[in-house]
Amino acid sequence: MKVCIAEKPSVAKDIANTIGATQRKDGYYEGNGYQVTWTFGHLCTLKEPRDYVEDWRYWNLRHLPMVPSRFGVKVIEDEGIQRQFHIVKRLLVDATEIINCGDAGQEGEVIQRWVFLKSGTKAPIKRLWISSLTEEAIKEGFANLKDGNKFNNLYAAGSARAIGDWLLGINATRLFTKKFALQRQVLSIGRVQTPTLAMIVNRHLEIENFKPQDYWELRTVYRDTEFNSVLGKIKKKEKAEYALSKIKDEAFEITSFEQKEGKEKPPRLFDLTALQVEANKKQGYSADQTLKLIQSLYEKKLVTYPRVDTTYLPDDVYPKVPGILQNLTYYSELTAPLLQKKLPKSKQVFDNKKVTDHHAIIPTGVKVSGVTPEEQKIYNTVTKRFIAVFYPDCKVSNTTVLGEVLKLEFKATGKQILSPGWRVVYQKDDSKSKKDENLMPVFVKGEKGPHEARIDTKQTSPPKHFTEATLLRAMETAGKHVEDEEARELMKDNGIGRPSTRANIIETLFRRRYIERSKKNILATHTGIDLIQVIDNETLKSPELTGDWERKLRLIEKGEYQPAQFKQELIEMVVELTNEVLFNTAKKAIRIMDDSKEEEKKDKPKKKRAKSVKVDITTLTCPSCKKEGFLEGKKAYGCAHYKEGCKFVIPFEFMGKKLSNKQLNDLITKGKTTKIKGFKKLGSEESIDGKLELTSDFNVTLNAD
């Protein structure tokens, strides 16, 4: 019996109906020599820390870094999932052939391969690789099943991604939570999540610390056309006023009038990120909302596979385009002109070399029914873009006029649409009318006349907060500001995350209350800011380095980089990060005393105490801010004036050695302790002897013998 396994029950039903497996059984369909079953997304997951070492269930710095010698997979501990897994396992073990019908992408491959791994099946595996769920696409896919081994690199990349996220996420989260606990909150650290949050926090701080500066611009109006002075932003008002006084009564002379015809190509087809950006700008939908809507349209057979990162179509789609356009009857007014002649085959649309797992998102041509108003808007966005790419370029006239007064140059620019081309598709949607276009009169070089000069007072503006649209673009380009579509295409291999995961990353940051929405803007919360500021390690926060990891994962997918090498790099980073945070002690501890109760300051004069009398640490003067008073927290003594900005902290325990009251006192009052025996490095039983000392920036360091 051939066993087909899909990622969702709904997809399994579509496949079963197409191949004739029409008998409904418990957890699968059967018929015509096939059994068609399904997962519920992930049935299996990487093992948790406690599954490797019992003590790893406890959050203890002594256990870090946690690096399993071999990563394992387990069935998720959920009654419904366990039940379905046992049904799937029974079918797979008895199968003569397995057809992997999971989502045709990296995550879909991992979901299915983990199930095969846990089931212990030895049956040969074929792969169904389709870009839509129409009956025609499913039949075509079954007629051209691929050898499952051809997708080993895809699985290797997905597996490496999951292991990398486990290594960094679990170790870094426990490390920073235990070292710098903020109000008992778990400090969630992630390979993609943290650099994304860092971009938002950095933008927030730029805006918060921005100091606006006044500047002045010199403008003039000649023949109802506004000209700007080439002086640009004038920093001194006196200079602007002086220039105005000199030119206001002099004639304005045209020195150049130039009109050039240009072309604007149609916008590219949508990949997932571009669609999310467009939907956020036009409809205000979140990235997650757009993903759910386009996924629903895919499952309703109305659009092709959506979790894609390419804006191109392969050559073999070209013969199918007329049929798709013909079936878009609701858009017949727009498609009719295209169907009257041979469609163009532009390299901007069709390029086999630039198609990855799947091609760009396009409509399938299936008649629309049963969609929500929100789904209709997304469908309309995708369909109009598909139609527009086959229209001719928009022809424009770009006008540049130069003028001068007393040798001071001015400039004006404008644009006129000569032939709308692809813009016809958007005429009803476009809020711009002809009166909004910057139409200009015809000027003649050498003409002169009176003008109306003025000074505009302005202020420099801070950067804008991220919206989901601009954040998605920043993730796509690893934090670099890129407007050009060609440049963005080249940078996709180095983006943060994948198109299919970015929406979830953003939603995770919202759920953990690291960021919040203010209308369309995304703002960092105090918790998010504190988390990023407590992380000294720049690698964790770097969009560029995270983008480099993504590039390596894509190389693994292509068979050009070894998964073991990627894993080893992550292990080395985790070990280095752990040592850095643990052995440099509390560099940036914030609010570590959140549960401490402030004690009354003691005004009693200090008396010389006998060695047998316990030293009262809380009465001492902080060496950092020079103010009196310490608080006793759960893990450390900290300056009582931490709310005023002092971050001085002395931990009770350092490198496995609990410090005595006398040693703490010496460290605070003298800046160093006497020789202490028995310090231990993480993961080593070797003892180290030495003195603890305060550095110049009031951190604790070990001066080993």
User: Encoding tokens for residue 472?
Assistant: 């998605």
242 is catalytic: no
User: Encoding tokens for residue 218?
Assistant: 């010199």
**Location of structure tokens 């069935």:** 75
Contact in structure between 666 and 674 (CB atoms under 8 Å): yes
Strand partners, 225: 222
Contact in structure between 362 and 269 (CB atoms under 8 Å): yes
Distance, CA of 199 to CA of 478 (rounded, Å): 10
User: Encoding tokens for residue 310?
Assistant: 């390419």
User: Encoding tokens for residue 151?
Assistant: 């997708």
Nearest in space to 692 (alpha carbons), one of 680, 674, 670, 678? 674
Q: Strands 44-46, 73-75: parallel, antiparallel or unpaired by DSSP?
A: antiparallel
Distance, CA of 288 to CA of 50 (rounded, Å): 32
Residue 579: Cβ within 10 Å count: 15
12-18-24 Cα angle (round to 5)? 50
State the number of CA atoms in the 13 A half-sphere of 624 facing the CB: 21
Q: Which residues contact residue 103 at a Cβ distance below 8 angstroms, ignoring those fewer than 6 apart?
A: 7, 111, 305, 307
Contact in structure between 164 and 67 (CB atoms under 8 Å): no
Kindly tell me the sign of the dihedral angle through the C-alpha atoms of 200, 205, 206, 211: positive
- Beta-strand runs (E) in 47-109: 73-75, 97-101
Contact in structure between 176 and 187 (CB atoms under 8 Å): yes
Q: Which residues contact residue 392 at a Cβ distance below 8 angstroms, ignoring those fewer than 6 apart?
A: 344, 419, 421, 422
Q: How far out from the chain centre does Cα 417 lie?
A: 37
Contact in structure between 649 and 592 (CB atoms under 8 Å): yes
605 exposed, middle or buried (CB, 10 Å; 0-12, 13-18, 19+)? exposed
Q: What is the dihedral of CA 190, 195, 201, 206, to 10 degrees?
A: 170
Distances (CA, A) of 685 to 339, 575, 580, 678: 78, 17, 19, 10
Q: Strands 408-419, 394-405: parallel, antiparallel or unpaired by DSSP?
A: antiparallel
Q: How far out from the chain centre does Cα 428 lie?
A: 33
Name the active-site residue from 34, 298, 305, 312: 305
User: Encoding tokens for residue 264?
Assistant: 């604007």
Contact in structure between 92 and 98 (CB atoms under 8 Å): yes
State the number of CA atoms in the 13 A half-sphere of 291 facing the CB: 19
Question: HEC profile for 467-486?
Answer: EHHHHHHHHHCCCCCCCCHH
State the number of CA atoms in the 13 A half-sphere of 286 facing the CB: 17
User: Encoding tokens for residue 686?
Assistant: 């070797």
**Location of structure tokens 């103010």:** 627
Phi-psi domain of 392 (left: phi exceeds 0; alpha: psi -120 through 50; beta: other): beta
Distance, CA of 193 to CA of 496 (rounded, Å): 9
Task: Give backbone dihedrals phi and psi of 140, rounded to 5 degrees, phi first.
Answer: -65, -40
Catalytic residues: 305
